Amino acid sequence: MNKTVKIIIAVAVIVVAVVAILVGVFAFNNSKPASNLTVSSAEDLTALVDQIYAGVSIEMPMLMTQELDMTDAETVKYFTGLENLDNIEYVVASEPMMSSQAYSMVLVKAKEGADVEAMAKSMNENIDERKWICVTAEKIYSVASGDVVCLVMSNADTAKTVYESFKTLAGSVGEEYERTAEEVELPEDMLMDQPAAM
């Protein structure tokens, strides 16, 4: 086999390998449907909150939506459960004006290249469902779509309804995280004495 034939064969093998790699990358990138969400500002996140509630058919408490100050790490952690804020661009939180109601929806806009799946999982695992002290959220849901992570926690019906509204708007979502709050056992000295049997 002469030198020219060997070069032609080597080039052909390289071209086939490159084409196979490109086809694989293209197929992988198109295997996940694109998110319907386009968020480029905190105002977009706030508008998304309103759209989510427009798709909810149950009665909701009187709510207030606020953009969080990204320089206030403690407040952001309180609402999101996240300690590392390096990969977050914006956060908005929607909660009742009366803190005696266990309800919270938080939307996080991640920076480009951030691992939103890990963020959604961390939020679900680390958010304090008892942060209101006197009440506890029963169910905690979180999921990512595109570069937006949604966390909802409340009683089971409310949390599920709001969460499903987010997923409908998003169109496609990543792995879904769900957690049920553990019941708190009161210390014996806080329990009321049972009346004696007659």
In the predicted structure, residue 196 carries a pLDDT above the cut 70: no
Kindly tell me if the per-residue pLDDT of 29 is higher than 50.
no
- From CA 109, how far away is CA 112, in angstroms rounded? 9
- Element spanning 63, H or E: strand 63-67
Q: Which class for 183: exposed (0-12), middle (13-18), buried (19 or more C-beta within 10 A)?
A: exposed
DSSP alpha helix (H) spans, the chain: 3-29, 42-54, 73-80, 116-126, 156-170
| Banded model confidence at residue 20, pLDDT cuts 50, 70, 90 | low
108 and 123 in contact (C-beta within 8 Å)?
yes
Q: Is 71 helix (H, G, I), strand (E, B) or coil?
A: coil
pLDDT at 134: 86
**Between 48 and 183, where is the model more confident?**
48
pTM, to two decimals: 0.77
As a whole-number percent, the residues of the chain with pLDDT over 70 amount to 79
Q: What is the pLDDT of residue 35?
A: 85
Per-residue pLDDT for 158 more than 90?
Answer: yes
User: Which among 122, 114, 107, 124 has a CA at the least distance from the CA of 39?
Assistant: 107
Does the pLDDT of residue 8 top 90, yes or no? no
Instruction: Give the model's pLDDT for residue 187.
Output: 55
Of 54-58, 96-100, 112-116, give the lowest mean pLDDT range.
Answer: 96-100
**Is the per-residue pLDDT at 135 higher than 50?**
yes
Question: Which residue(s) pair with 141 in the sheet?
Answer: 152, 178
